[in-house]
Amino acid sequence: MAHKFDAKKAGILDSTDRAKFLDPDSNLGKLGLDREQVLVDLGCGSGFFSIPASRLVKKVFALDIQQEMLDILNEKIKKAKITNIEVILSEESFIPLHENSADVLLMVNVFHELEDRSYLLKQVKRVLNRKGRLVIIDWKKIEMDFGPPFEERLNEKDVINIGCSNGFTILEQSNAGPYNYLLVMGKS
């Protein structure tokens, strides 16, 4: 089974240090989001991206397979009185959302954790509308003393190839920060 981020360590995801090298606001700012859009944050964890995204779009669906993560996010939503995030417990290879229901599907540091990437991409394709975009931010395949081990990381080329083999085409490729890449794909 693919290694999953331990929900007991969720504090790391919200650390100020992390925001220095992976800034949600500046990365979301690159996506041209607007108030008409629906964004899915798949593998939302404790909502490091879901909460800032909720200020830019009409609605955020925040999904994760770990209820502990969603509990943390629900607390934050309650405290901040946010009304446009819907939190949903997801399944490893099934996204419990209607077809054509999203404009953007974001996965931040999730793609390398997936059990069956091709299968999940078929689900992403179903959920995204015709002009919908898949945004993948993940760890660069470099040796580092934090983040997932080298063997678990995927390089950008491999992610693009997996996307292209599953009905996507690459639209943009850039850096999300010094240690992470950002890929934007559309349905081909």
Ligand X SMILES: C[S@@+](CC[C@H](N)C(=O)[O-])C[C@H]1O[C@@H](n2cnc3c(N)ncnc32)[C@H](O)[C@@H]1O
**Residues near ligand X (CB under 6 A):** 4-5, 13, 42-45, 48-49, 63-66, 69, 90, 92, 108-110, 113-114, 120
- In the bound complex, what is the minimum distance in angstroms from residue 106's beta carbon to ligand X? 8
Comparison of 84 and 93: residue with beta carbon closer to ligand X: 93
**Could you tell me the CA-to-CA distances from 62 to 1, 38, 73, 176 in Å, in that order?**
23, 11, 9, 20
Q: Which residue, 1 or 130, is less far from ligand X as judged by CB?
A: 1
- Our CB check for ligand X shows the closer of 88 and 170 to be 88
Distance between start and end Cα atoms, the chain: 30
Name which of 105 and 108 has its Cβ closer to ligand X: 108
159/44 Cα distance (integer angstroms): 19
CA distances in angstroms from 84 to 56, 58, 179, listed in the order given: 10, 7, 30
| Shortest distance, position 123 Cβ to ligand X, whole Å | 9
| Closest distance of CB 130 from ligand X, Å | 23
- Residue whose pair of structure tokens reads 């939503």 in the numeric block: 77
